[in-house]
Amino acid sequence: MKKYILLIFIAGFLAACESAPVIKPIAVKRNHVLTGEYEHVAASDTPPVPILRKQPVYPAVFRSSKTPGKAVIYFVVDAQGVPVQVQYIEATDLAFAESAIKAVSQWRFKPALKNGVAVPACMTIPLLFKYE
């Protein structure tokens, strides 16, 4: 009789787990590696100014749990105002990092200026995710 009750309990537990999967974020960090010539944003006379921003898409995998997230994105704004070498430094989960990279890659900027000339400049931007 005890084995039968235990099997019912285990079957019920497994069914409950299968019906409502809980996905937990896995924090990720990485070293940033940029190539080419660029200024640190603080070294320019005028920093890059966003003129077009696309909102990142909240990752579908976390929609049922409404888990908040964050991604810190590092990139270079080239002399034409286009983000290049877009990468994450850290993120609550890789899904948040991927969404943030995709969004920031579509942004456009008024480029950084040094002595009145447009120059490439690196930037770091944190993006917060909240499901509403």
Domains of the chain: 25-129 (3.30.2420.10)
pLDDT (0 to 100) of residue 131: 87
User: 7: burial class by Cβ within 10 Å (0-12, 13-18, 19+)?
Assistant: exposed
Token pair for 64: 């049922």
How far apart, in whole angstroms, are the C-alpha atoms of residue 70 and residue 91?
A: 5
Residue 3 has pLDDT above 70, yes or no: no
How far apart, in whole angstroms, are the C-alpha atoms of residue 50 and residue 73?
A: 15
pLDDT (0 to 100) of residue 17: 44
Q: Percentage of residues in the chain with pLDDT exceeding 70?
A: 75
Give the contacts of 117 (CB within 8 A, at least 6 positions apart): none
User: 51-103, pLDDT tens digit by residue?
Assistant: 999 999 999 999 989 999 999 999 999 999 999 999 999 999 999 999 999 99
